[in-house]
Every structure is written in C-alpha cells, then in structure tokens.
Amino acid sequence: MKYLLLLMALGCLNILKAQDYNVALIPDSLKANADVVKRTEELHVIIKDEGKAIIKHKYAITVFNESGDEYAMYANSYRKMESLYDIDGNLYDAAGKRLKSVKKKDIADVSGDEESLVSDSRTKYHNFYCRSYPYTVEYEDEQELNGIFFLPYWWPQIDEKYAVQQSRYIVEAPANYVLNFKQFNYPTKPDITKTEKNVTYTWQINNQKAIISEYFQPSWQDVTTAVYIAPKSFTVGGYTGDMSTWQNLGKFILSLNQGRDQLPDGVKQDIHRIADTAKTVEQKVNLLYQYLQNNTRYISIQLGIGSWQPFDANYVATKKYGDCKALSNYMHSILKEAGVPSNYVLITAGKGRKGLWEDFPSPYFNHAVLCVPNGKDTIWLECTSQTKAAGFMGSFTGNRKALLIASDGGHVVNTPVYKSTDNLQLRKVYATIDDNGDLDAAILTTFSGEQEEPLHSLMYSTNKELREEILNNAINLPTYKVEKNDYSEVKGRIPVIHEDLHITSPNYASITGKRLFIKPNLFNKTGTKLSKDSARVYDIAISSSYMDVDTVIIQIPAGYTVEAMPKDVALESKFGKYSINFKVADSAITMLRTNEVSAVMLPASEYEALVNYYDAMYKADRSQIVFVKKDN
C-alpha cells in the first residue's frame, strides 16, 4: 500500500514534469510574425472568502529574437495587503532541455512605484538574460490577497507580435459566492463545474496568432481576448462592501469617504470671504476652484487602504498637497462649506482610454474628479491641476462613462463629449518673402477644446525662453527663429488659447536662377502617409473630432509672374472634409485650407478609401507655386 502511494506520487510528479518546451512543437502558423509565443499559461484564482484569495500563476514563454527579450523578464509587485509567497523560474533551450532554475530567495526586490512620494508597493524582478534564441522561460508564483477589492483579470495576448499557444483562466470560489464577469472576444460561455463546496469557472484559448498592429486600430481590448471578474460582496482594510450594482459599489466608496470632510477654521473663513458675495453657483465654483488651484499641489501617496481612501480634508488643508482622491474630497468639502453640493466621481483617466462598462460593476478606476450638478449645466472639476479651466475635462477624462458617488450610492454618468466645432485650430498667417527667399511671418492662432491642451502645457509648464526653444525645435522649417511668442488663455467650459507668433526663416523659398518656388501651406501639413501594401484586418477607429482652418497670405517680391499653379482640392469622405484653395493677385498669394476630422468607427473595407483620402491630402498640403522673374 505504501509503495502504491509512492508510485502514485511519482506518477503525479511525472505528469507535472511532462511539460515539453521543445520549440518544434509550436505550429508554424503561430510562429508567423511572432517575437514570442506564450506556450502555456494557467492563472488560477482561488477565492477563500469575501476577504481572502490565493492567486497561482504559471506560464511559459518562448522568445524567438531580441525584440522578444522584454517579455522574458519576470516582474510582480506586492504590498502589505498582497503578499507574494513563492516564485519558481526555469530556463529551457530550444530543445526543451532545462538550463537553469531560480527560487524566490535569489530574487531581489525594489521599490515598486517610482512616481509616488510614498508607496508600500515593492516589486520582484528576475531575468535569466538568455541570448541564445529561441529559448523558453517558465515562471510560477503564488500570491495571497488579504482583502479583496480588485481581482486579477485575464488578458493572455498582451501585445502585438505575441502569439498564444494555450492559456487558461480558472476561478474557484465557495459554492455560495457570487461572481460577476465580463468577457471580451471570447465566443462562448465559461466552463462551470459545481461541487457541494465549490464552484469553478474555466476560460481557455488555444492557438491565437500574433497580431500586427495597424494605423487607426481599435483599442487593444476590442481586438483580443480578455476576461474581467468582480466579487459581489467583499472585505478590504476593515471595510465591507458590495459591488453587485454600481449603486452598491458607490455606497462602499461613500463609506470610505465618510467623515473626511472636516475643514479647519482658517479655511472655512477663507471660503466664506471668497464665495459668500458671489451670486450664482457657477461664480462660487469658479472662485473656489481658483482657491484650490492656488493653494494645493498634486503629490502621489499610495499606502494600504489609502490607495482607495482619500486623505481627509484637514490633512490637505494643512499640508496643501494630496493625490487625486484627497484633492477631490478636499474640493468637495470646500464646496459643501460654501453651500454648494458636489459629487465625488471615480473615472478611468488617460487620453484615448475608455470609461467603465455599464453592465459590469467593478472597480477598475485610476483617477478621481469632482462633479457639481447645476441644473442642465453640470460643472466638472479636475482637482489635481493648478492651471486647467473649471469645467473642462478634455481628452484626459472627457467622453467616457464614470461613477458618480451620491448619498444613495453610485450612478453611471457620461462626461462631456467634445465635437469638431469645440476642438478648433483657427490660424491666420501674414507673411512676406523678400528677394533672397527669406520669410517673415506673423502667425495668429486660436486653439480651443482638445486642440488647446498641448498649448496649455506649453504655456504653463515652460518659461518664455524654453518655449522659444521648443517652438524652434518643433516647427518644420529649415532654419527658423521665433522672434516673438505670446500666449493668452480665456478659461471656460471650452477653454481657448490665443497664440501670437512672429517668426523669421532665411531661405524659406527656394530660388533657382530666375525662378521662385513657394509652398504656401507653411505650418499645417498632414504627416500621415498610410501604407496600402497589406490587407486591412481591423476596423478603422478615429478617436477624436477636430477642425483646422488656415488662411495664409504671402506677399512676394515684385516682378514675378506665375509659371505653375497647383490645383485646388476639395475632398469629402466618411473620415472628414478637406479643402485647399490657392490664389495669386498683385504679388500676393492667398491660401485657404479647411480640414475637419470626425470621430468615427468604420469597417476594414473602407481602408482603401482612407489611404486615398490621406494621400490626396498629403500631396495637396505640399503644393508648390512656381514664379518666374519677368525679363526687364
């Protein structure tokens, strides 16, 4: 009997060892376009109860070339509430022969969060530094969550040129545990098995080919497989909550923020001095937002439950700094003192990022802002910025769904969407070109909405000298000097910046013999040149709307007549509208250019039309007028 047990145990060992990483076992279709192939993966989440879970992760990756080396590195972070127990690593050669092994104790760790002033996050890194391709690394680790808020998600194909041979996601929970999940690009339902005590969910993919990314590709999530899970009830950092609905998740956040709005007397006096005489809610908000901007700054602090719970208002009032949660909560407290109700809002911030999924209550947020309901005219406040206009969300937090926390819990809301008529760049250029071809130009430009954002950073984060340097670098003229650069901003829901530039550029126009060559579109040429070569796979996603209007008037030296004139161009398509016109009269060139881009999602079949559209624009933008000197 003893022997039988031993034999069985040995048999098990054999099964565990049986994993064969010989590269020859990878199908050719997976090798195509792949820098790496994930051979096998198992992400195993064992939920013990509402506040405790074990995460076992095992994966093997075969690296074919230098570009794939970055995926061979192991990294995992841990904190006080997420301990990292075991790490096991192995390196195999092309034939699948094991070359090296590593254990947790041999792996050094470093502070895991460079951005934050304070953070309890630490990271373990390991790398075999193998350079004989192809090679395979295999890692296995185990983590324990003490407190559940986030649960790990499954995203097997993490990048382009990355194929997946096999990957599996297993979630095990007590039989009475309610688990919500959301699938992306997973055609069927998970495999669910139940026992008396447990329920087990399994998702698996096999033989996913490597992806080559394309211009205007939809977001990564829309094209690859992913599964997110979220608990119904949970316990974290001494708090319990429920996220079966957005409303309940909101209630939990409310409980974290409870009683954190006490302000010191000095600040209260400031608030009343500043806001009491203001007549409308909007005036009050503007004045107090300015007070917040003048008196605080953003410092990231991430400790324990503090990653989700804001530092209280009193802390911010005395230190004059805080992170997004602390600053939003502080502003909420300020407005409350002034008699203006406002709501704390959780959001996923980042240009091009999407908001929450309405049908899947879960805590995947990375930012907090504040919302002031004001009848039809809701005011949104980004509390970490010292310069942004009150009410403007822009590309960082605009155009997405977010979770607004009210006294009755959470509500899904939409942040403002910016249209092409909000995101404008209106430019007038008055230029002269002298007999040497030297250019002298006054450029007056009005930027608004999302098009204002880069200018806003330029205006506030740099001094005049540095700005001149950046402009000198940025604008695409041969030799170029900024003689004057002035900026003024008109704050508002759609903020506007007026730019006043004066530049000189020796030899802008090329003179060869008796001819003068001028490209009148001085400052707004499209740089997009798309390739027609390969067949389009994905839909076309254009993510933001905007409009540019350029008027250029160039005075040229007397005595020249037109030898060649470019054609006017007018294009209209599903991607936008474009037109450019040229005129010459009395030694003056007038060019008028309009380019309107609309956010749109179109099928891949439209790709050829898109290429032709951009091609036509590319050429028209570089049109040249040729003048000849009249013989005297």
Partner 1 sequence: MRRIKLLFLLIYCQLTLQAQTVRPFVVFGDVKPEDFAPTVYSIDSAAPAIYLFDNGMARFSENNSGKFDVIFQRHTRIRLLSRNAFDLATLEIPILTFGSFEQKMEYLQAVTYNIEDGKVIAMPVDKSAIIVEKNKKFKVTKLTLPNIKEGSIIEFAYSVRSPGNYLPEWSFQGSYPKLWSEYDITIPFFYNYNVYKRGTLNFSMDSIRSFHVDYDYYNNVPNKNNTTKRVWGIKDVPALKREPYTTTTDNYISKIEFHLAAYTRTDGNTFPVNEDWATVCNHLFADESFAYSLTLPLKWLNSEVNKAVGAAATPLDKVRNIFAYVRDEYTCTDRSARSLSQELKQTVQTKEGNVADINMLLTAMLLNIKVDAKPAILSTTDNGRAFPSMPFLSQYNYVVCFAYIDRNVYLLDASNRLLGFNKLDNECYNGYVQVIAPWYSANAINLVADSLQETEATAVFIMNAQNGKATATVTNHFSYQPSLQLKEDIRSEDSASFFEKVKADYPIDIDISNAAIENLRDPEKNIAIKYQFVTDLGHDSLIYFNPMLAGQEKENPFFAAKRFYPVEMPFCMNKTYTLNMEIPAGYTLDALPKSLTTKFNGNDGLFCYSIDEKDNHVQLNVILKLTKATYEPEDYQNLRDFFTMVVKKEAEQIVFKKKK
Q: Least distance from C-beta 587 to partner 1, angstroms? A: 21
CB of 66 to partner 1, least distance (A): 7
Does position 481 interact with partner 1 (CB under 8 A)? The reply is yes
Secondary structure of residue 92 in the 3-state scheme: strand
For the CB of residue 234, give the shortest distance to partner 1 in the complex, in Å.
Answer: 30
Residue 57 and residue 43 in contact, taking contact as beta carbons nearer than 8 Å: yes
- Nearer to partner 1 by Cβ, of 255 and 457: the residue is 457
State the minimum distance, in angstroms, from the CB of residue 556 to partner 1. 17
Kindly report the number of other CB atoms within 10 A of residue 237's CB atom: 17
Q: Please identify, among the stretches 135-143, 242-250, 306-314, 514-522, the one whose residues bind partner 1 according to the rule CB under 8 A.
A: 514-522
- Binding-site member from 183, 472, 524, 543 for partner 1 (CB under 8 A): 472
For 615, list phi and psi in degrees, rounded to 5: -60, -45
Beta partners for 77? 123
Number of chain residues interacting with partner 1 (CB under 8 A): 55
* Candidate list 97, 272, 297, 574; residue touching partner 1; CB under 8 A: 297
Binder to partner 1 among 283, 479, 561, 605 (CB under 8 A)? Answer: 479
Task: Specify the amino acid at residue 544.
Answer: S
Q: Which of 423, 410, 493 is nearest to 454 (CA)?
A: 423
The site string for partner 1 over 149-188 (x = CB under 8 A, - otherwise) reads ----------------------------------------
What is the three-class DSSP state of 66?
helix
Separation of alpha carbons 223 and 217, rounded Å = 9
Beta strand segments in 133-211, E:
135-146, 162-174, 179-184, 191-194, 198-208
Distance CA(371)–CA(416), nearest Å, equals 11
**For residue 134, cis peptide bond before it (omega within 30 degrees of 0):** yes
8 A C-beta contact, residue 617 and residue 595: yes
Rounded to whole angstroms, the Cα distance separating 566 from 93 reads 61
Closest Cα to residue 334, out of 388, 288, 381, 390? 288
Asked if 584 and 565 touch (Cβ cutoff 8 Å), the reply is: yes
Among 47-55, 346-354, 358-366, 474-482, the segment contacting partner 1 (CB under 8 A)? 474-482
Measuring CA to CA, which residue among 296, 323, 314 is closest to residue 387? 296
What is the 8-class DSSP label of residue 567?
A: P
Q: Is 363 exposed, middle or buried (0-12, 13-18, 19+ CB in 10 A)?
A: buried
Beta carbons of 442 and 502 less than 8 angstroms apart: yes
Asked if residue 513 binds partner 1 (CB under 8 A), the reply is: yes
| Nearest residue (CB) to partner 1, 373 versus 506 | 506
Our CB check for partner 1 shows the closer of 299 and 569 to be 299
Select from 427, 432, 415 the least CA-distant residue to 518.
432
Cβ at position 71, least distance to partner 1 in Å:
13
Q: Kindly tell me which residue out of 463, 586, 631, 632 binds partner 1, with binding defined by CB under 8 A.
A: 463
Tell me the C-alpha distance between 503 and 430, whole Å: 11
Q: Give the residue, chosen from 437, 449, 495, 576, that forms a contact with partner 1 under the rule CB under 8 A.
A: 437
Residue selected from 195, 258, 473, 632 as contacting partner 1 according to rule CB under 8 A: 473
- Among positions 118-147, residues that touch partner 1 (CB under 8 A) are 118, 127-132
Nearest distance from C-beta of residue 618 to partner 1, angstroms? 9
Return the residues of window 387-406 that contact partner 1 according to CB under 8 A. 387
- Containing H/E element for 469? helix 464-474
Residue 320: CB minimum distance to partner 1, A = 4
Q: According to CB under 8 A, which one of 515, 525, 577, 629 is a site residue for partner 1?
A: 515
- H or E element that contains 611: helix 607-621
Question: Which of 40, 295, 524, 555: binder of partner 1 (CB under 8 A)?
Answer: 295
Under the binding rule (CB under 8 A), the answer on residue 624 touching partner 1 is yes
**Span from 74-82, 357-365, 459-467, 548-556 in contact with partner 1 (CB under 8 A):** 459-467
Q: Nearest distance from residue 461's CB to partner 1, in Å?
A: 6
- Of the candidate residues 7, 25, 562, 564, the single one contacting partner 1 (CB under 8 A): 564
d(CA 596, CA 424): 9
> Which chain residues interact with partner 1 by CB under 8 A?
66-67, 108, 110-111, 117-118, 127-132, 294-295, 297, 299, 318-321, 386-387, 437, 460-465, 469, 472-473, 476-481, 506-507, 510-515, 517, 529, 531, 563-564, 619, 624, 626
